[in-house]
Amino acid sequence: MIGSFSIGFLRIGWIDVVDVLLVTTLFYQLYKLLTGSVALKVFLGFMSLYLFYLVVKAAGMELLTSILGQFMSVGVLAGIILFQQEIRRFLLNVGKATSFGSRLRVFPWRREANADRMNVTPFIEAAKSMAGKETGALIAFSMASDLKFFADSGDLLDAAVSKRLLLSIFNKTSPLHDGAVIIANGRIKAARCILPVSENPDVPASMGLRHRAAIGLTEVTDAVVLVVSEETGQISVVRGGEVFRNLSGPDLRARLNEFLFDAEARPAAAAATTAADMAA
């Protein structure tokens, strides 16, 4: 083989090296995607069963091999059903990573779009005000995924963002205060939306359904969610299942700028807490 070399009796070509590197990257991405979620435990369970199947097969135990073989043959289909949320997230990440234009910012109109980016001040001002009055809030910002499915579960508004409107929506006497507000294209798209609740057992019981819904949405989409706790008045931002808790006004601004516009995070910003860390 052209461009191949030997290690002992093994003959390795460059294609093999690239193959191994790609598989390593794939497994690393899989690990990153699954880590801290229930899916990791299911995945490890499935891999243990597969290893057991290989051992049983090598030992020539025919009956057990055929029983486990039946299970393995539907493994791919079962995997797709079991991991549909993780597969969605993975494909979304691949989609984002391959949009070279936005990553490299090579197109001038991209810079223009970035220039008239949404003003985050109304969200910060509203969050601080609600935190002071122990009024709960749940605000989801759509990124690559448009969150239309979740917006449709609530009342459509399509209104300009303002601190006053946010405060009115989340006011405890407002008929719109229950559920989440969804922000898309710099506008308040909908209120009273129902978000998927995280089933991660590592989320501490001290976190109510509001936080679980924020974590749940970010587990299945690339949305960024702002949460104001009704009980403690704490402000948090959630992305990719990670909760950035107890944010001050400047921390919140830094996090929103970082997550919504890819801007540099300031070192003062609070550290992320995964569900596993929170449970520890």
Which of 195, 260, 269, 278 contacts ligand ATP by CB under 6 A? 195
Nearest distance from C-beta of residue 231 to ligand ATP, angstroms = 3
Which of 208, 246, 257, 279 contacts ligand ATP by CB under 6 A? 208
Nearest distance from C-beta of residue 238 to ligand ATP, angstroms = 11
Which of 198, 229, 273, 274 contacts ligand ATP by CB under 6 A? 229
Taking phi over 0 as left and psi of -120 to 50 as alpha, with beta for the rest, 179 belongs to: left
Q: Does 230 bind ligand ATP (CB under 6 A)?
A: yes
Q: Does 209 bind ligand ATP (CB under 6 A)?
A: yes
Q: Does 211 bind ligand ATP (CB under 6 A)?
A: yes
- Name the segment binding ligand ATP (CB under 6 A); options: 9-17, 23-31, 116-124, 228-236: 228-236
Nearest distance from C-beta of residue 233 to ligand ATP, angstroms = 9
Q: CB count, 10 Å around CB of 171?
A: 14
Which of 197, 263, 272, 279 contacts ligand ATP by CB under 6 A? 197
Which of 130, 169, 213, 254 contacts ligand ATP by CB under 6 A? 213
Nearest distance from C-beta of residue 253 to ligand ATP, angstroms = 21
User: Which residues would be at the binding site for ligand ATP (CB under 6 A)?
Assistant: 136, 138, 178-180, 194-195, 197, 208-211, 213, 229-231
